[in-house]
Amino acid sequence: MTGEVKLRRYHAPVWDEPIILELGRRGERGVLLPEVEEGIRRRVGPAGDLLPAKVRRKTPPGLPELSQAQVLRHYLRLSQQTLGMELDIDIGVGTCTMKYSPKVNEGLAAMIAEVHPDQPEETMQGLLEVVWRFGHLFLREISGMDEFSFQPPGGSAAAFNNACMMRRYHGLRGEAAQRNEVITTIFSHPCDAACPATAGYRVVTLYPDEETGLPDVEALKAAVSEHTAGLFITNPEDTGIFNRQIDEWTGIVHDAGGLCAYDQANANALLGVTRARDAGFDMCFFNLHKTFSSPHGSSGPGCGAVGVTEELAGLLPVPVVVKEGDRYRLDYDRPNSIGKVRDFQGNLPSVVRAYAWAMSMGAEGLKEAAEVSAVNNSYLETKLRKIRGVTKPYGGRRVDQIRYSLAKMREETGVGVDDVNRRVVDYGIQTLFTSHHPWIVPEPFTPEPCETYSKADIDYWAEVLRRVSDEAYSDPEKVKTAPHGSSISRINHSPFDDPERWAMSWRAYRRKVRKEK
């Protein structure tokens, strides 16, 4: 069972796949539509005559022309050149909770594929019930909050939603102009700074104490004032460090007249362990595509489920699903609502999946998921701290993830995290998530071994890192010149900041780089 971990031979698929606009021949078709019926044509005449000549398209769009099998083959090849979570041991992408998305839930979510969001409520009772049950029976208990909305279609969108609610809250009290500052911490996700800024706030960022990795509570006391609108914070922060004084923090912000918004992107190891409400938060959000198993979809669609206290429930975006007797209804009658942050009700397939996942777990299962995530994280640490060149800045036990540093390795070998990141790919391991900027922790990486990874998975992943570390110390060039087994060789980055050469479309590339007319 224990013993040496044998690394597999791996090479990413190499298809040398052209851009689809380079493929096909004029006249090919991938799919046909039904002919317009004779009866329709007789009555309305040629379609072209139904529009003024002025608005008609003069030249056809330059889309590719391919037959169906060729389109499918192209995209299947691109899919093969994508290392999805289900193919690798995706521990390296921390803060993202790359957990297994149960297949059964895909089929359940697909049941609503052909539902239009404006259908009469009586034809959506089942769907509304799932939404209500998940919010009322699960998330309320998990967080301690009173009411939930699923309209924000991602984590950052939820942070923006919460900034809008904060703005409205102070606006209703006539204090919006005065309370124009939001406080966050540098190890909170960037959305906790960027979204309040987009909503019009000046952002005050607190930096960590060198020893604890957390800002000192005195720094918060100094930051709050009559200008404080509120706090946007993650806990544990992206370092994995849990702020043990978080209830004191929320108290300080409340005393200054602000609200506290909890970004629960890192909630996976906290389910059933500690709750947003009990730490004094007024609002929070969960990423259903992280903690609640909805798949990440190559970066969305996701869902940022926003929970609030009763006092703020009237500010939630509309509509909110409510239950009356045994019927479910969409409640638009919330005069203080911020309105909408996303059309309709947001991304409900994510809610269906999250509900199914939570139903499969129950109270004990959710707590077990949390505990195993925490155990996995500390277990991985026992492996990583034996690896040469890996250090863990700041002391202490971490919750769901740890921000490590390769600064020592870089100093001793010249190999840094960007090099390691290109090299791990050669072992069939997804690129490590480093850190958002600025890199307070130098040469950072942030693994998160959530509950769906086995001990063998963790051992394997750690072994890859150990092997790459050995290479860095014995043959650094091998790491620096990586990747050696990727779908492509090393990328030329210089065009990305050069207006003469960057190209966000095939037509721009043809004009600028290929110099075609």
Within residues 101-140, the interface with another protein by CB under 8 A covers 101-102, 104, 106-108, 111-120, 123-127, 129-130, 133, 137-138
Largest distance between two CA atoms of the chain: 80
Which one of 167, 227, 392, 410 is in contact with another protein (CB under 8 A)? 167
Specify the long-range contacts of residues 288-291, CB closer than 8 Å, at least 24 apart. Answer: 288/150, 288/350, 288/351, 288/353, 288/354, 289/154, 289/350, 290/96, 290/97, 290/99, 290/155, 290/265, 291/97, 291/264, 291/265, 291/267
Q: Is 61 exposed, middle or buried (0-12, 13-18, 19+ CB in 10 A)?
A: exposed
Residue list 350-409, contact with another protein (CB under 8 A)? 350, 352, 355-356, 358-369, 371-372, 374-376, 378-379, 381-382, 396-399
Which one of 89, 91, 183, 246 is in contact with another protein (CB under 8 A)? 246
Residue list 56-95, contact with another protein (CB under 8 A)? 56-58, 60-66, 68, 71-72, 74-88, 93
Integer Cα distance of 221 and 413 in angstroms: 43
Residue 74 tokens, joined: 């192209």
Stretch of residues binding another protein (CB under 8 A), selected from 165-173, 210-218, 251-259, 471-479: 165-173
489 binds another protein (CB under 8 A): yes
Residue list 22-61, contact with another protein (CB under 8 A)? 24, 28-34, 36-37, 39-41, 43-44, 47-48, 50-52, 54-58, 60-61
Residues contacting another protein: total by CB under 8 A? 220
Integer Cα distance of 275 and 149 in angstroms: 18
Minimum distance, C-beta of residue 342 to another protein, in the bound complex (Å): 6
Minimum distance, C-beta of residue 141 to another protein, in the bound complex (Å): 5
- Closer residue to another protein, CB minimum distance, 254 or 412: 254
Integer Cα distance of 402 and 238 in angstroms: 8
State phi, psi for 285 to the nearest 5 degrees: -145, 150
Residue list 291-320, contact with another protein (CB under 8 A)? 293, 295-302
Which one of 8, 493, 515, 517 is in contact with another protein (CB under 8 A)? 493
Q: What Rg value do the Cα atoms of the chain yield, rounded?
A: 26
Ramachandran bin of 463, using left for φ above 0, alpha for ψ from -120 to 50, beta for the remaining angles:
alpha
Integer Cα distance of 333 and 311 in angstroms: 16
What number of other Cβ atoms are within 10 A of residue 252's Cβ?
Answer: 21
- Closer residue to another protein, CB minimum distance, 323 or 490: 490
Minimum distance, C-beta of residue 373 to another protein, in the bound complex (Å): 9
Q: Which residues have a Cβ under 8 Å from the Cβ of 88 and sit 6 or more positions away? A: 428, 429, 430
Token pair 């009173």 in the structure block, residue: 146
The β-bridge partners of 181 are 202, 228
Minimum distance, C-beta of residue 61 to another protein, in the bound complex (Å): 5
193 binds another protein (CB under 8 A): yes
- Closer residue to another protein, CB minimum distance, 127 or 409: 127
Integer Cα distance of 105 and 496 in angstroms: 39
330 binds another protein (CB under 8 A): no
User: Mask 209-228, x = binds another protein (CB under 8 A)?
Assistant: --------------------
Residue list 142-161, contact with another protein (CB under 8 A)? 142, 153-157, 159-160
Minimum distance, C-beta of residue 439 to another protein, in the bound complex (Å): 10
